[in-house]
Amino acid sequence: MRSVEESPVTRDGKALVLAHDHGLEHGPEQFAGVEERLDPARVFEMATHDAVTALAVGKGLTETYYPSYDDQVNLLAKLNGGSDLWMGDPYSPQNWSVEYADELGADAIGYTIYPGVNREPEMFEDFRPVQEEARERDLPIAMWSYPRGQAVKAHRSPEVIAYAARIAHELGADFAKVKYPRSREAMAHAVDAAAATKVLLSGGSKTSDREFLELVESCMDAGVEGLAVGRNVWQRENPHEILDMLERVVFEGASTDDVL
């Protein structure tokens, strides 16, 4: 496992990933009120903000826009993902090979796993060659580790989130992106369970500035490496402002009260 401290997708051992795979995973309805951001160039532009250590996007957006931003943006190639039109048991198809992501300039790769779903074994087996190919190419690996399925009654219970973080470690990911387990203590437990794998808070739906920043502050205190944020940035009227504030909380240890 490579040292994530020296990774191009962290800064001083901290990470703020801007995620923008919502066009595929959730569809254009996510852009209600901010329709101009259907144009991915707007989000690539946001990713040039100093606070952003990597931009997580899929193949199509990378092919089209990354050539113009590769000097200014670190790319976290999100390799799998499905549409929200689909009603089947959770599973995420791979849309992009590691080889091609590397060729397009990826600095790291991202992959979703749903522990507990009917096709868990298949998802683990899909991940194997992805992980090993990424190692071969010296690309750090972030796992979106989201337990689901009939046995997972509480997606955000402390034990389930800790398990999610541990699975990322056991299967060979450098980063585990997990949901917030509803308390600072539970997040600290997940950080312990992840061992050497670094935990990233999954940002979730848009909330108020204070609510969001307090969440981030609490998780940073709990020992997470940083966060992956999408809607809480690009659905805001002024994304630059929230990125300024996040930069202080994530990288400079400021409190929510300091920045508001």
Among 16, 19, 24, 215, binds its own copies (CB under 8 A): 24
> Should residue 88 be labelled a site residue for its own copies when binding is judged by CB under 8 A?
yes
Mind spelling out the 3-state secondary structure of the chain? CCCHHHCCCCECCEEEEEECCHHHHCCHHHHCCCHHHHCHHHHHHHCCCCCCCEEEECHHHHHHHHHHCCCCCCEEEECECCCCCCCCCCCCCECCCHHHHHHCCCCEEEEEECCCCCCHHHHHHHHHHHHHHHHHCCCCEEEEECCCCCCCCCCCCHHHHHHHHHHHHHCCCCEEEECCCCCHHHHHHHHHHCCCCEEEEECCCCCCHHHHHHHHHHHHHHCCCEEEECHHHHCCCCHHHHHHHHHHHHHHCCCHHHHC
What's the closest the beta carbon of residue 28 comes to its own copies, in angstroms? 4
Number of amino acids touching its own copies (CB under 8 A): 73
> Should residue 166 be labelled a site residue for its own copies when binding is judged by CB under 8 A?
yes
> Should residue 122 be labelled a site residue for its own copies when binding is judged by CB under 8 A?
yes
How far apart CA 190 and CA 47 sit, in angstroms, is 28
Q: Is 177 a catalytic residue?
A: yes
Window contacting its own copies (CB under 8 A); options: 147-155, 200-208, 225-233, 245-253:
147-155
> Should residue 162 be labelled a site residue for its own copies when binding is judged by CB under 8 A?
yes
Q: Identify the active-site residue in 14, 177, 179, 198.
A: 177
What's the closest the beta carbon of residue 149 comes to its own copies, in angstroms? 7
What's the closest the beta carbon of residue 68 comes to its own copies, in angstroms? 11
Among 44, 65, 180, 234, binds its own copies (CB under 8 A): 65
> Should residue 127 be labelled a site residue for its own copies when binding is judged by CB under 8 A?
yes
Q: Which is nearer to its own copies, 127 or 251 (CB)?
A: 127
Among 14, 23, 224, 250, binds its own copies (CB under 8 A): 23
Among 33, 121, 208, 237, binds its own copies (CB under 8 A): 121
What's the closest the beta carbon of residue 45 comes to its own copies, in angstroms? 14
